[in-house]
Structure 1
Amino acid sequence: MLLWSLLVIFAPLSEEADFLTLKAPSVVFEGDSIDLMCQKKKDWWNIQTVVYYKDGKQLQFPDKVSSVSIPCASLSDSGQYSCSATVKTFFRSKSESSRSVGIEVLELFPRPVLTVSSYWPTEGSPVTLTCETRPSPQRSNVQLRFCFFRDSKALGSGWSSSPELRVPAMWTEDSGSYWCQAETATLRVRKQSLQSQIHVQRVPVSNVSLEIWAPRGPVIEGGNLVLLCSVAKGTGNITFSWHREATRTSVGRKTQRSLSAELEVPAVQEGDAGRYYCRADNGHDPIQSQLLSIRVRSPVSHPVLTLRELGPQAMVGDVVELHCEAQRGSPPILYQFYHENVILGNISAPSGGGASFNLSLTAEHSGNYSCEADNGLGAHRSEVVPLNVTGTGGCRRDHVTARVLGTLCGGLGFIAAALLCYYWSHKIAGGRSALHAPRDASSANPQESTHTSSLPDIEELQPDYVNVGPIDVDMVYSQVWSIQPPEDSANTRRMILENKDSHVIYSEVKKT
């Protein structure tokens, strides 16, 4: 009996492995926990220390713990596990080891792969990033979420359940290294893709043009002028600048990510008119637009009406010049002339300035006159100018004609006076000769005397022509009589021939 006990105590070492066993799962997935337990087969053994091994290498766990756990398994945790323990029997202490147990950690989802819709996109074009991976079929219910990065900076809103990220437009500064991550919703497993390079290509600007924002309407002085500079092509930040040809200096500058830009010139003046151009530059050679001529139109000012060529008093028959002029206003300007708000006529001034309208006065032309100027930007009326026309009856002349007529009449008066003196001197001389004539001379030809006496008295004749002076001058400068002697009187005809000046009498008499 004693011999049998000794055989049991001193059993061969090959059988000692059966005294310890390692309890562990043979298959786990990433993220699962691995529980290891080193168990003894004999209750009467007293385990003092336990050591765990993986692939023959000691794992760092407390020596006096019989069971341990790896909380989140990874693929690197696959291998051969075993344990050893120091046990104490009735007679002595010894070390025992378990058999090895193989543990395989399965992949929950493969490492993600980043795919890009275009690795060489042009500026302004969209790009789609995709983080490609999926859970293992044995764990198809596992939920994943994704995040995308550029040069260690998270893109978009961060983590999302969508494996895609769409970038609406890529720009040169967006070039760089991109990668993505995928993880389980429980945050136990996270994997990262390899990095991919994206190079964004810039398109140079082309076909630069300059135009007025409101081409249909005129540029009016005092209003706002908006200049639109645009390009047909071009990517990235484009710098737009506006220039005036006369000075070649910049009148405005903007940098923005668009194909067009506006420059507003408030309260534009006539001095702002001229030729303009713009430039566009996005890092390549700047491109210049063609020249654009800008004309600034100004509304007409209130015109001034003046009446020219008038003497101290306007009279019937006078010709008056109505001159209307607006000091400011872009041509062409249309002038209209009014008499008591009735249009007399209109005259256009294609090159600006004033315009004149000639009017021959009648008695009805007395009243108020005005004019209006309009260049399509608003009409303005002048102040009223009154005109009083006098001399509505008689034979009126203008003041120039009156002066000429006065000069002529003065000369005729002088001639009439001289002729009158001449006539009276001849009359007196004839009377004297008649007194001294012999009586037989008068009786020698009684027929002649009879005919002579039959002539009408000169003073009783009515004048055929009267030359009068201006109205309001009661002086008659000349009168002409015509005497018709009897046809059968030869002596009478002879007397008229001998005294041929006797039928024209110049006199100066008062009007009755």
Structure 2
Amino acid sequence: MLPWLLLLICGSPSLSCVPAGIPVSDVNLETRPPGGWVMEGSKLVLICSVANATGNITYFWYRGALGSNLETRIQHSLTAEFEIMEMKNSDAEQYYCAADNGYGPILSEVVNITVRVPVSRPVLTFGDSGTQAVLGDLMELHCEALGGSPPIFYQFYHEHVILGNSSAPSGGGASFNFSLTTEHSGNYFCEASNGQGTQRSEVVTLNLTGRQPDDPLRSPPRPVLQESSYLNSPDPRQLQSVYENVNVVSGDDIYSLVYHTQQEMEPAAAQHMRTHGASKVSRVSPDIYSKARKVNIVDMDYEDPM
């Protein structure tokens, strides 16, 4: 057809001229690795494809809700790829693409990309007792990787045998508790993983000691009950303090000796008491004393031990 004839036909009011070919349809965006997540430092491939189209196709890749254009490329194919060579944590965003072969751009669905950070080398610590612990105590092993995207899975080892495991769904560390026995002395370590490799802590050695005897200041020995040789003494099995008249030294004064039946006075002191009478303040046990009190001897009967 002659060019002037084609111009005449397209200029007719009853006809409309459109570009020859098939417009793009069903634009789709896929990622590699699949699943919408990628490890920090790894490569992300954005694959834009169309179901149908003819001729050259212009592809566009966008990031973020505002649609920041990352790349524009013209290809004579139904598929085109754009690579981000080294993903950073800040690259976690929404991505989409568009395709156009002259009929207007068609957009794909939005794909959310999550950038996961590998776990760092964890640190293993013991509870309050540290690496010097006592048999029978409750021990807490705490393992923590300071870096890494959650969830993080932890395993605890004693001499390369798994003691137990724990997880941190929101990140941070995790603990494992157990009671110490003689078999628990030795080397410990832990491992951390969040789906991309495993990191192991340094080995820590735990030393166990036997349980120490009770503190004598907190648990004093029980005194041995002794038979009392004093006059008018109560049953030595009684534990209360007893007052006893001893002697009249001078004037109107009467002195009382206070003693506890759990204590025993030395024989020399007892002999002195029988011979010379009680002093005004007589000490029978280290912490018990008696004091003189004033009475009227006319109103009170007493027995003279002499």
Instruction: Output the TM-score relative to the length of structure 2.
Output: 0.64
C-alpha distance in structure 2 between counterparts of 1:314 and 1:507, whole Å: 41
Aligned: 1:390 with 2:209: yes
Q: Name which of 54, 60, 64 aligns with 1:235.
A: 54
Q: Secondary structure in 1 aligned to 2:232? A: helix
**1:324 and 1:429, CA in 2 relative to 1: closer, same or farther beyond 3 A?**
same
Moved more, 241-250 or 336-345: 241-250
Aligned: 1:322 with 2:124: no
The 5 Å alignment of 1:44-83 reads none
C-alpha distance in structure 1 between counterparts of 2:140 and 2:44, whole Å: 41
Deviation at 1:337, TM superposition (A): 0.7
Aligned: 1:344 with 2:163: yes
Q: Name which of 393, 409, 434 aligns with 2:219.
A: 409
C-alpha distance in structure 2 between counterparts of 1:347 and 1:266, whole Å: 34
Q: Name which of 216, 230, 250 aligns with 1:428.
A: 230
**1:377 and 1:406, CA in 2 relative to 1: closer, same or farther beyond 3 A?**
farther
**1:295 and 1:307, CA in 2 relative to 1: closer, same or farther beyond 3 A?**
same
**1:407 and 1:237, CA in 2 relative to 1: closer, same or farther beyond 3 A?**
farther
Q: Give yes or no for contact 1:245–1:274 (8 Å, CA) kept in 2.
A: yes
Aligned: 1:267 with 2:86: yes
Report 1 or 2 for greater relative contact order, CA contacts < 8 Å, sequence distance ≥ 6.
Answer: 2
Deviation at 1:407, TM superposition (A): 6.5
Unaligned runs of 5+ in 2: 8-17, 241-259, 265-306
**1:429 and 1:241, CA in 2 relative to 1: closer, same or farther beyond 3 A?**
farther
Unaligned runs of 5+ in 1: 1-118, 120-149, 152-174, 177-198, 432-494
Aligned: 1:353 with 2:175: no
Q: Secondary structure in 2 aligned to 1:386? A: strand
**1:230 and 1:388, CA in 2 relative to 1: closer, same or farther beyond 3 A?**
same
Aligned: 1:368 with 2:187: yes
C-alpha distance in structure 1 between counterparts of 2:115 and 2:33, whole Å: 13
Q: Give yes or no for contact 2:28–2:108 (8 Å, CA) kept in 1.
A: yes
Output the amino acid matched with 1:501.
Answer: Q
Q: Which has the larger radius of gyration?
A: 1
Q: Name which of 153, 166, 188 aligns with 1:334.
A: 153
Output the amino acid matched with 2:42.
Answer: G
Q: Give yes or no for contact 1:244–1:275 (8 Å, CA) kept in 2.
A: yes
Deviation at 1:406, TM superposition (A): 6.2
C-alpha distance in structure 1 between counterparts of 2:81 and 2:27, whole Å: 13
**1:255 and 1:316, CA in 2 relative to 1: closer, same or farther beyond 3 A?**
same
Q: Secondary structure in 2 aligned to 1:262? A: strand
Q: Give yes or no for contact 1:308–1:321 (8 Å, CA) kept in 2.
A: yes
Output the amino acid matched with 2:146.
Answer: Q
Q: Give yes or no for contact 2:61–2:95 (8 Å, CA) kept in 1.
A: yes
Aligned: 1:501 with 2:251: no
Aligned: 1:377 with 2:226: no
Deviation at 1:233, TM superposition (A): 2.4
Q: Secondary structure in 2 aligned to 1:324? A: strand
Q: Secondary structure in 2 aligned to 1:232? A: coil
Aligned residue pairs, count: 233
Q: Give yes or no for contact 1:225–1:266 (8 Å, CA) kept in 2.
A: yes
Q: Name which of 281, 286, 294 aligns with 2:113.
A: 294
Deviation at 1:300, TM superposition (A): 2.0
Q: Give yes or no for contact 1:316–1:396 (8 Å, CA) kept in 2.
A: no
Q: Secondary structure in 1 aligned to 2:51? A: strand
Superposed CA deviations along residues 258-306 of structure 1, whole A, max 9, x for unmatched, are 2221001101123222221111222333211111122233332211111
C-alpha distance in structure 1 between counterparts of 2:121 and 2:115, whole Å: 19
**1:358 and 1:507, CA in 2 relative to 1: closer, same or farther beyond 3 A?**
farther
Deviation at 1:350, TM superposition (A): 2.3
C-alpha distance in structure 1 between counterparts of 2:28 and 2:261, whole Å: 94
Output the amino acid matched with 2:102.
Answer: G
**1:406 and 1:267, CA in 2 relative to 1: closer, same or farther beyond 3 A?**
farther
**1:206 and 1:353, CA in 2 relative to 1: closer, same or farther beyond 3 A?**
same
Output the amino acid matched with 2:180.
Answer: L
C-alpha distance in structure 1 between counterparts of 2:32 and 2:98, whole Å: 17
C-alpha distance in structure 2 between counterparts of 1:228 and 1:507, whole Å: 96
Q: Name which of 189, 208, 217 aligns with 2:27.
A: 208
Deviation at 1:360, TM superposition (A): 1.7
Quote the sequence identity (%): 51
Deviation at 1:311, TM superposition (A): 6.0
**1:271 and 1:406, CA in 2 relative to 1: closer, same or farther beyond 3 A?**
farther
**1:382 and 1:249, CA in 2 relative to 1: closer, same or farther beyond 3 A?**
same
* Larger helix fraction of residues: 1
CA RMSD of aligned residues (A): 3.6
Instruction: Output the TM-score relative to the length of structure 1.
Output: 0.40
**1:250 and 1:505, CA in 2 relative to 1: closer, same or farther beyond 3 A?**
farther
C-alpha distance in structure 1 between counterparts of 2:133 and 2:263, whole Å: 34
Give the ranges of 4+ consecutive aligned residues of structure 1 lying more than 6 Å apart after TM superposition: 502-505
Deviation at 1:312, TM superposition (A): 8.4
